Amino acid sequence: MRTVIILLSAAIWFSTGCKDKPKAAPATGSGSQKVATGSGSAGSAQPKQNELILPPLTNTPPIKTTKPLDTAKSKEVTEKLEFGGFTKDIRRADDNGIDVRYKTTERPRIAVTINATKCFDCLPMELEKWTPKADSLRVLVGPELQNLPDTTFDFGATDVGGTTVMFSYHVGYSIKPGETGTGGAYANAYALYFNDGVNMIRVVAEYKDDVPATREDMLNLVPREDLERVAKAFFDAYVHAWG
pTM above 0.85, yes or no: no
Q: Which residue has the higher pLDDT, 241 or 28?
A: 241
Picking from 11-20, 134-143, 151-160, 188-197, which range would have the lowest pLDDT averaged per residue? 11-20
Closest by alpha carbon to 82, among 25, 38, 141, 16? 25
Amino acid present at 129 = K
Peptide bond just before 56 cis, omega within 30 deg: no
Q: Does residue 69 sit in helix, strand or coil? A: coil
CA distance 227 to 154: 14
Question: pLDDT (tens digit, 9 = 90+) per residue, 21-50?
Answer: 333 333 333 345 666 565 433 333 444 456
* Burial of 157 per CB tally in 10 Å (0-12, 13-18, 19+): middle
**E strand or H helix that includes residue 72:** helix 71-80
CA distance 120 to 134: 17
User: Once rounded to an integer, what is the mean pLDDT over residues 88-115?
Assistant: 98
User: Once rounded to an integer, what is the mean pLDDT over residues 76-97?
Assistant: 97
Looking at residue 51, its pLDDT comes to 78
Beta partners for residue 53, in sequence order: 34
Question: pLDDT (tens digit, 9 = 90+) per residue, 153-210?
Answer: 999 999 999 999 999 999 999 998 765 666 789 999 999 999 999 999 999 999 999 9
